[in-house]
Chain A
Amino acid sequence: MAVGHNFKYMIYINSSFNDNSTDCVQDWIYFLSKQNIIRANDFQQITSFTYKINNQNEEVNFNTESNQISTEVIKSYWYRRGGISFNNIKNESIYPRLGVFANKYIEREFKFISKVLENCLKNKLKGINIENDNYTNKIENLSIAKKVKLSIPDSIICTDWSELIEFCLIHRNIISKPIIFGSFEFPNSSTEQIFISSGVIKLDHSELMEIKSKCENSSFSPSLFQVYIEKKFELRIFYLNGQCYSMAIFSQSNVKTKIDFRNYDYERPNRCVPYQLPKEIEQKINAFMHAADLNCGSLDMIYSTDNQYVFLEVNPIGQYQWLTNNCNYFIDRLIAQTLTQ
């Protein structure tokens, strides 16, 4: 691979075409250091790939249609959106059935090689997140949080009505949550399915029984439920390499007001102010992020009416503009500094 002088110390950013945060970070990088940036948008297909490992060194070189990437010239890496993938070779064999099996085999191989690529980027370069962080496991994270003694909401994944009803009786108000990303199905009757999308739904016992009465089966596909916790305020924490930048969000539901607003969210957005977590909670968050193998992420917590900091979830590649703008934290600059130092 030919390496010209201007290729020295490049920063590789994987993002999407219209991601405003990436634009802002690029402005800071350019202002602070004028280092070269390779920005790959959305999904990039790898056209050629080399990985070398020996007793002294480990390196990866790959080309996509628009870029040449080598761990020998890239200094830091930021994964934000999109990703890199191997060309899906469509095996049009004369034996169609063989082709199907061959493709399956190749796909599995590619998954492993992608992992090798990401690990190499992670080991060799200063970086923020990797594509694989997208697949962080919400349930596993609850278990990790418990291990580091962050308080978590009582949770249940179950398939049987009886279990769910018992859980609801103990906790009175519960919420249903998607286990992974998008939506999951809730069988309403033999012919009907309710699609519950990523939103969180609050249910009490009678609401739950009503749903059950419409449902013929005694079980459903595994679903996640948690106790509903009354909160004083919500917390959003941006975490990067050991540092926490926190914001308290006052939901307006508990505020009574005589003032009439036409567009409530716009004219009267939730109060969002900087927050300083107790040292002890920050240490636990740090331990959690280490255990979850994430160097950057946005954490959701609540401060409950009984004065507990409760961990809800972490989004490895979160939106932080809202937080940095309201709290004047300069997170774009911080990310740029992390990548250029």
Chain B
Amino acid sequence: MSKTMFKFYANCILVKGANRSTICDLQRNKFHFIPNSIIRLMQGDMIDSTTILKKLDEEDKILFDEYIEYLLERELIFECEAELIEHFPTLSMEWDFPSHVSNAIFDAENELHFFNQSLMDQLEILCCNYFQIRFYKKTTKVEIQRILQLLMPSQIKAIDLIIAADDENDNFEAWLIDLVNKNRKIRCLTIHSAEKNEKLQGENFGFGTILKVKEVVQNTSHCGAIHHSYFSINIESFTESQHYNTCLNRKISIDSEGNIKNCPSMAKSYGNIKDTKLIEVVSNPDFQKVWHIKKDEITKCKDCEFRHICTDCRAYIENPEDKFSAPIKCGYDPYTCEWEEWSTNPLKQKAIEYYGMQELVKSEE
């Protein structure tokens, strides 16, 4: 091979795991695996093939050349002349976002009583433009209408809605489709406890997805699953994960009883929305502590090649006593590179019991 110096494109970033590594292609939103033995030959994001080839025996040379070919073909690396190396800087890992709170979760049984103009005003002060509402039980058309009336004229840009299926409610599904298409702030509506899994409508410029799922979402314990289909491979999440928790950073939530928390699944409440202002809670350094727990500090995750594309969960963790322990709902083992079913892992039974998730685990089986 005549070409000598290769460099990774700045948006194709190596993440080294215990047993293998990933190249996270943040521009094209995919990841590729790469053996650690190849990574060891590189210097950071540079591959000096002339020097490397000198050190390898014939068999390894072929293997190495094949890898270079693979990386070139996928446009993960490019040939870089020596004089240009310093002109291709690495991607800045800065993360910033123009909101004090960037996302919120509001939980309800049948009605979201605390959702009113005062709450909307508080969200505006926090520059919060996005939230999710989860109804665990059947709600009414009137209640959904009431929420939308407050939300449509506000600064809110997008919401996600999770509601329970309701066969007794006349024409509920048709009514919902019409509603989603008329109110262009609903990004995704999920109807749980449905008779089957079905996509009623796909997205249209980022809005208007409607899904039906069989899963019964009856309380907070459905949340926090870790799965490779949930990985988010883009600059925003990747950079955020370098500094912050990828689930809880700048998140606030109110559970169905009005308790203000980091997330509805967590035990600690920072006051009730009846008599506490969101901004007081958000400015509390105690409340912000979990925002800063990052993957590089979490047991197991810190050795995982997916750590900067994986969303975290801090509510359900393997050892509830240790705030740095790994999400319990992750079945991945970065030391063996195998995915297994998390809920049947004998080592996790104690924690599953602790969270009272036995029922959920059974229903998922």
Contacts and interface: CB of A to CB of B under 8 A. Distances in A.
A259 B28 contact: no
A259 B74 contact: yes
Contacts of B10: 273-274, 327
Given A27-B98, A258-B73, A259-B74, A269 B88 contact: no
Contacts of A275: 87-89
Give the contact-size bracket for chain B. Answer: 20 to 34
Contacts of B98: 24, 27-28, 30-32, 332-333, 336
Interface string A240-264: 0000000010101001011100000
Contacts of A27: 98-99, 127, 129
Contacts of A307: 83
A267 interface: yes
Nearest to B7: A273
Q: Is the interface of A mostly helix, strand, loop or mixed?
A: mixed
Contacts of B74: 259
Contact of A273 (B11, B96, B239): B11
A276 interface: yes
B231 interface: no
Interface in A269-304: 269, 271-278
A273 B75 contact: no
Contacts of B287: none
A104 to B, nearest CB: 45
Nearest to B29: A267
B79 to A, nearest CB: 10
B96 A271 contact: no
A28 B11 CA distance: 25
A162 interface: no
A277 B127 CA distance: 36
A309 to B, nearest CB: 10
Q: Is the interface of B mostly helix, strand, loop or mixed?
A: loop
Interface in B75-91: 75, 78, 83, 86-89, 91
Interface string B120-148: 00000001010000000000000000000
B73 A273 contact: no
B9 interface: yes
A259 B100 CA distance: 44
Interface residues of A, number: 34
Given A31-B99, A269-B27, A278 B87 contact: yes
A268 interface: yes
Contact of B86 (A276, A330, A333): A276
Given A275-B87, A277-B87, A269 B99 contact: no
A259 B92 contact: no
Contacts of A328: 91-94, 235, 239
Nearest to B8: A273
Contact of B92 (A255, A272, A274, A333): A274
Contacts of A325: 235
Contacts of B235: 325-326, 328
B87 A268 contact: no
Which of A257, A258, A271 has the most chain B CB atoms inside 10 A of its CB? A271
B88 A329 contact: no
Interface in A15-33: 24, 27-28, 30-32
A268 B99 contact: no
Contacts, number: 76
Nearest to B76: A271
Given A27-B129, A31-B100, A31-B127, A274 B28 contact: no
B73 A259 contact: yes
Nearest to B97: A31
A23 to B, nearest CB: 9
B157 to A, nearest CB: 9
Contacts of B75: 250, 252, 255, 257, 268, 271
B89 to A, nearest CB: 5
Interface in B49-87: 73-75, 78, 83, 86-87
A30 B123 CA distance: 13
Contacts of A32: 98
A255 B9 CA distance: 14
B239 A271 contact: no
B14 to A, nearest CB: 15
Which of A257, A273, A325 has the most chain B CB atoms inside 10 A of its CB? A273
A30 B91 contact: no
Given A28-B98, A259-B74, A269-B27, A274 B86 contact: no
B88 A276 contact: yes
Interface in A323-341: 325-330, 332-333, 336
Contacts of A329: 92
B272 to A, nearest CB: 27
A71 to B, nearest CB: 28
B88 A273 contact: yes
Contact of A326 (B27, B87, B94, B129): B27
Interface in B31-49: none
B9 A333 contact: no
Contacts of B86: 276
B11 A276 contact: no
26 contacts: A27-B127, A27-B129, A30-B98, A30-B127, A31-B100, A31-B127, A248-B88, A250-B9, A250-B78, A257-B73, A258-B73, A268-B28, A268-B75, A271-B9, A272-B27, A273-B11, A273-B88, A274-B88, A275-B87, A275-B88, A276-B87, A276-B88, A326-B11, A327-B92, A328-B91, A329-B92
Interface of B: 9-11, 27-28, 73-75, 78, 83, 86-89, 91-94, 96, 98-100, 127, 129, 235, 239
Given A31-B100, A271-B11, 12 more contacts: A30-B98, A31-B98, A31-B99, A250-B78, A252-B75, A257-B73, A257-B75, A259-B73, A269-B27, A273-B9, A274-B89, A327-B92
Interface of A: 24, 27-28, 30-32, 248, 250, 252, 255, 257-259, 267-269, 271-278, 307, 325-330, 332-333, 336
The 7 A-B residue pairs with the shortest CB-CB distance, nearest first, are A31-B98, A273-B10, A27-B98, A28-B98, A328-B92, A31-B127, A276-B87
